[in-house]
Amino acid sequence: MSVNKFDHKHAAHCESGVMSSILRHYGLDLSEPMVFGLSSALSFAYLPFIKMGGMPLIAYRNLPKSIIKNIRKNLNVKMKLETFSNKEKGQKRLEELLDEGKIVGAQTSVYWLPYFPEEMRFHFNAHNLLVYGKEGDKFKISDPVFEETVECDKDALLKARFVKGVMAPKGLLYYPVEVPTEIDLKPVIVKSIKKVAKSMLNTPVPIAGLKGMRYLAKAIGKLGSKDEKYAKLFLGHIVRMQEEIGTGGAGFRYIYASFLQESSLIFDNDETLKEASEMFLEVGDSFREFALMIAKSIRSKKEIDFKDISEKLYFIADEEAKVYKKLLEFCKNN
């Protein structure tokens, strides 16, 4: 069982990559950055009460499944999302959908996918991939983070789909029921940009948006009074959350910059969107510099300058704020 003429595309992020592939397969050709932007996925959150490996969760995009759900809502795409109470039901349903000729999105754990090199496996339970066929006991997989399609044996995929823990996938499968082939993107672009800009600038809680970024910067500044081993682990965790988990802070800023660049063409080469795109590229570069600064400080034998690292993140928050204010000007005029 497999789909004829499936076109695999390498992507920067798993969920937006899978959704782009699904929509393209069913006649709505949207790039990955456009999918990411139209789902208002860009965000920031510092959640000290949610732990990953004993360290606070730091997120640079909205919650897993938000891209799927927001694209469904914003573009009027009729999609079905199914979770399962046990592995047997989940396995049976996946095979039924493949028999019907559907391509199916699935949420999995990276750690249990054998086609990932061992050094790339870690316990992250919100990795999205696309299943488009099955031969014998091997499923044909379009995983956006790989250049080519891969295969995964039945037992390994089942384990990856039903792993326990934070963001447990519960066997999640998702697939379209109806996809519009023509959409007026302009109002959706404006709505999506406004949502991101307002939520980042004006969130009422201190742990989200730019307030959350500054909250993390403040926490970094206080690390000097903490145990040295803990402080280094905390800083290393920041780098891992930013650069490795689910594409990373800089990566999401680069994707959003591409979305704004593409949107500027839809709005007849709009200069404000072009400028905002360039500004987001610079923010992405600053995030990379921030990560490098931390990495060097951890490796160095010199005393860590927590204040310097903290001020770098405060600077990034201020620079990102400028972009959102510019984007709100664009929304006001359109």
Residue range 80-96, pLDDT digits in tens: 999 999 999 999 999 99
Residues 257 and 311 in one domain: yes
pLDDT of residue 120 exceeding 80: no
Domain boundary residue among 178, 213, 241?
A: 178
Residues 168 and 20 in one domain: yes
Residues 149 and 266 in one domain: no
Structural domains counted in the chain = 2
pLDDT of residue 2 exceeding 80: no
The helix/strand/coil state of 92 is: helix
Q: Which domain covers residue 20, as residue numbers?
A: 14-30+78-178
pLDDT score, position 245: 59
Residue 54 lies in a domain: no
- The CATH number given to whatever domain includes residue 104 is 3.90.70.10
Residues 18 and 84 in one domain: yes
Per-residue pLDDT tens digits for 163-193 = 998 788 999 999 999 999 889 999 999 999 9
Residues 100 and 174 in one domain: yes
Handedness of CA 138, 143, 145, 148 (dihedral sign): positive
The C-alpha atoms of residue 249 and residue 238 are separated, in whole angstroms, by 10
The C-alpha atoms of residue 252 and residue 164 are separated, in whole angstroms, by 27
Residues 174 and 84 in one domain: yes
Residues 173 and 190 in one domain: no
Going by the DSSP 8-state scheme, the letter that residue 13 receives in this structure is S
pLDDT of residue 17 exceeding 60: yes
Residues 192 and 313 in one domain: yes
pLDDT, mean over the chain? 91
Whole-prediction pTM:
0.92
* Cβ-Cβ contacts under 8 Å for 270 (sequence gap 6 or more): 263, 264, 330
Per-residue pLDDT tens digits for 127-145 = 999 999 999 889 999 999 8
Residues 161 and 208 in one domain: no
Q: Which candidate, 248, 261, 228, places its Cα nearest to that of 290?
A: 248
Domain boundary residue among 132, 161, 178?
A: 178
Give the count of alpha carbons within 13 A of 202, CB side only: 8
Taking the CA atoms of residue 10, residue 11, residue 12 and residue 17 in that order, the dihedral angle to the nearest 10 degrees is -150
C-alpha radius of gyration, the chain, whole number: 21
* Cβ-Cβ contacts under 8 Å for 74 (sequence gap 6 or more): 38, 39, 40, 188, 191, 192
The C-alpha atoms of residue 203 and residue 180 are separated, in whole angstroms, by 33
